[in-house]
Structure 1
């Protein structure tokens, strides 16, 4: 039985009966049967259906957003924005998938030679709760447009969202079983990966989950893509525009109540700016409205589960015991964790070394550019980094020395359908979105005609 509670009201939302092994296998067989015809559909048909899906998302966005808020506590206004972004990724691949997957002609000694980009079949997506629609749609849109079919194993606390996503696909007119939600627990994932009809797997989640999924996929020689979170740095150089940088840093750390893999979690600031910047940052954080996630003015609400807030509290307390100072916040009430700024953070402290998945920002100073680069790269994660400077050329010169998968200058790290998304080191491998994302689960078939 899969159970979930509303993190704000503690009300029990549902008890869902999980699929048994026979039902799982039948779902996989159904998906494979659907693939045999879906892969032959013309792009024009896929485009029509994907555009229908985008329009359905837009028309139902308030209702869908309420489900997100109910299940994991995301403030309603941010939940609506999430649904709108899902419609955007559908529209992006409606417009671009056909050209992205067009045959590539290669000049050789042959009469004709080219690469054909073809779907591989059933792909399993293991997805997290923090963006319950967006994480799924950035997989769903490119893979259905590519001609693949999808199985979804969603997080246990967002099973209503998972159910609604399958219903949305069906409502848009897609053929039955091209996208199937599997209400199963994590201990059943390996059975799905092992099935011979499942050709690949993508996971967004923890490092522990990533290792388990990647190792199982490797045993069966199946492709995997992993996005395993990060500890992104916000690097504020001494010539940064302070007011603009403050606004961006607050958004980067505290949106979605800090529960984002690409949130700016480590604020690395030039020592000459430290006092002024942190004082202004505290003022801005004090102004963030906390409360009922259903209130359209709420910016910070409860975390998705109480155990997640407890874990953040432990990371904070251990860091304080090692010398970090709480400048604002630091208190927890069940699943609610106050927006918090920890100062005097040093390498070796949990809030520097580990991913902090909640509304806590760790502040560390640096003396020069070399020290800033070293602090960024000292993390085991490598998802993204933001650089803040009024000297764009100087900031660009730093990029080659950074080990992350993405670098944003004077902007927070964010996912965008038009550009690839993914990390390095323990943040995972592979890419989502853009041309790279649609190519991850494709047979790049070489054709040579003498």
Structure 2
């Protein structure tokens, strides 16, 4: 395994980084264990929150430098890269502001007996974070922010194609005042990560990534009785039942599909439209998508960059071709140029087409025709994933009814790109387990200790 910065827009290898040695890895785990046993116990929640707040401020102060790194690493358009850095800064600030409330003692009303009882939240220990390439700063923020304030220590294994941003994040934590061992980056191999999960000093693992990676990590963690949070893939439905402004709804659908060049686990990927709106939606949606052309990710005007790597584009190309071979209609696009991929629309995707059960990580949209509300919900749920979902309707009662019927961890009604630091993020089925962000994200890796006083 090699850690390298390969610019997907040009194919040029810009930097390489050596994988950690086994001796260095053991020293890293030992340093994290020491930080948890000593540093985290000798500091207050307020002191740790102040350090995390500074991490957020440094992200914003260094936003241009940090953004340019991920433009090189994974091709994110620069304006979106800047927004990601800002969002990461907001997440650190949010947890600094709210940690005391999230972690305060919780009284328990006794049903019998005298005295009192309470739940006191405290740290678990050393945690391993395994993070993906598609949101290098945001993903780390939502894992590391709350857990460092709680007092856990972090070992962070970033994606092999994001070593430069991993180093920049580690530098931010150092410059914010965190001591050695509190936050440690690991350029580790898969075999080494297996050893980290098995190490008795490590108490939990959080992974954001593919279904395959999640299954592998969960298996190892289960064997060693470790707590796991998994944020995996999705093929989120965008259900259109009614609208007062079709053009605005189409634009929302475009925005929901093309965020991060279509490489977002909770992007809308399957557009399910009722009979009366299907043809006009498909026409406008396809025309609007055709206006978006992939371009230079360093340009402020670019909204669609290359995919994260040549391999990612080749995989997407194979998926589209396989979908067509199994009966799907290619309405628009389907052309690859190196790591750049044309905006693409597929229709007539039957339930036995592999495409109906797969995640397309790139600017490819599937459009489905639904006979009515019940049929739309049926199509939405007919996948192994259950991450996010989107419902557009002018009927408030229908919105809540459909939201109740969708099998997903998140439902957004008449809004897209509306994630927030305060909103829990996570899914069900093969999209993973556990939550990040909000109050629930701060509670995944804590010891909820019951104290009963007679």
Q: TM-score, normalised by structure 2?
A: 0.97
In the alignment, which residue of structure 2 is the partner of 1:53?
55
Unaligned runs of 5+ in 2: none
Of 177, 193, 196, 2:181 maps to: 177
Contact 1:385 1:413 in 2 (8 A): no
The structural deviation recorded for 1:244 is 2.1
Of 268, 278, 287, 2:272 maps to: 268
Q: How far apart are the structure 2 equivalents of 1:392 and 1:348?
A: 34
In the alignment, which residue of structure 2 is the partner of 1:140?
144
Q: How far apart are the structure 2 equivalents of 1:414 and 1:195?
A: 38
Q: How far apart are the structure 2 equivalents of 1:133 and 1:60?
A: 12
Contact 2:5 2:164 in 1 (8 A): no
Report the aligned-residue RMSD.
Answer: 1.3
Of 327, 351, 361, 1:347 maps to: 351
Contact 1:67 1:160 in 2 (8 A): yes
In the alignment, which residue of structure 1 is the partner of 2:192?
188
Of 68, 72, 75, 2:74 maps to: 72
Of 81, 86, 92, 2:83 maps to: 81
The structural deviation recorded for 1:64 is 0.3
The structural deviation recorded for 1:155 is 0.6
In the alignment, which residue of structure 1 is the partner of 2:220?
216
Of 159, 162, 182, 1:158 maps to: 162
Q: How far apart are the structure 1 equivalents of 2:67 and 2:122?
A: 35
In the alignment, which residue of structure 2 is the partner of 1:105?
107
Q: How far apart are the structure 2 equivalents of 1:107 and 1:257?
A: 50
Q: TM-score, normalised by structure 1?
A: 0.98
Of 226, 229, 248, 1:225 maps to: 229
Q: What SS does the aligned partner of 2:165 have? A: helix
Contact 1:288 1:300 in 2 (8 A): yes
More deviation, 283-292/437-446: 283-292
Is 1:26–2:30 an aligned residue pair?
no
Q: What SS does the aligned partner of 1:372 have? A: helix
Q: What SS does the aligned partner of 1:184 have? A: coil
Unaligned runs of 5+ in 1: none
In the alignment, which residue of structure 1 is the partner of 2:43?
41
The structural deviation recorded for 1:240 is 5.7
Paired residues in the alignment total 450
Q: What SS does the aligned partner of 1:15 have? A: strand
In the alignment, which residue of structure 2 is the partner of 1:115?
119
Contact 2:5 2:72 in 1 (8 A): no
In the alignment, which residue of structure 1 is the partner of 2:206?
202
The structural deviation recorded for 1:297 is 0.4
Q: How far apart are the structure 1 equivalents of 2:138 and 2:354?
A: 29
